[in-house]
Structure 1
Amino acid sequence: MNLNISGHHVDVTPPLREYVMAKLKRLERHFDHLISAEVILTVEKLTQKAEATIHASGANLHAVASEADMYAAIDVMTDKLDQQTRRHKEKLRDHHQKEAHKRMAL
């Protein structure tokens, strides 16, 4: 998966970059057809904001999270993306396959 991490009014330090990469690796466990991801980390006054768009086969997944701490915002954002990837994977799965097998057995 191609990963692009950028910061708006914030320096993306190596530990912050590694934290984002480690959290996004979790998404690949559920769904391995992820093509690319763009992550934008932003500081607006006292609010830390993490925003990500993931291009997967068949869908573009987007999540935004705002928290007082940047690491907490990244955690919330990846939780949202994790839920979206699981939902997308369920949609791709053919749920009618079992029904077709039952009809052939009769």
Structure 2
Amino acid sequence: MQMNLTGHHVEITPSLRDYVDTKMERLERHFDHINGVHVILTVEKLQHKAEAKVNVTGKPLFADALEEDMYAAIDRLVDKLDRQVKKHKEKIKDHHAATVDKADRLPPHPDELGPA
């Protein structure tokens, strides 16, 4: 998974980058087909904002979180994205793959049973 990390009015430190990387691995554990992630971290006065766009098949997923601590904002962001990824995975899953053919469920015809 390719990840871009951008900071607005905040310096992206190696520890912050590692924290985002480890948290985003949780998304990959639940869904393998993530094409890319773009994360933007912003600081405005006392509010820390984390937002991300996840590219998956179909339409991209977007979430943002606003907290007083950057690490808490990242945690909340990953929680929101995780729920969206799970929901997306359920939507694309083929729920009819394990169903039995309709002809197999019908009772046998009386001629097929043989002599009574």
Query: What residue number does 1:105 align with?
Result: 104
- What is the SS of the residue equivalent to 2:60? strand
Query: What residue number does 1:77 align with?
Result: 77
- Alignment RMSD: 1.1
- Does residue 1:37 correspond to 2:37, yes or no? yes
**What amino acid maps onto 1:89 in structure 2?**
K
| Structure 1 unaligned regions, length at least 5 | none
Q: 1:37-82 deviations in whole A, cap 9, x for unaligned?
A: 1000000111000000010122201000000000000000000000
Counterpart CA distance in 2 for 1:27 and 1:81 is 8
Deviation at 1:94, TM superposition (A): 1.3
Q: 1:70-99 deviations in whole A, cap 9, x for unaligned?
A: 000000000000000000000001122344
- Structure 2 length normalisation: TM-score? 0.86
How many residues get paired?
105
| Higher relative strand content | 1
- What is the SS of the residue equivalent to 1:58? coil
- What is the SS of the residue equivalent to 1:5? strand
- What is the SS of the residue equivalent to 2:10? coil
- Structure 1 length normalisation: TM-score? 0.94
- What is the SS of the residue equivalent to 1:10? coil
| Higher relative helix content | 1
Q: Percent identity?
A: 54
**What amino acid maps onto 1:103 in structure 2?**
K
Greater gyration radius: 2
| Structure 2 unaligned regions, length at least 5 | 106-116
Query: What residue number does 1:86 align with?
Result: 86
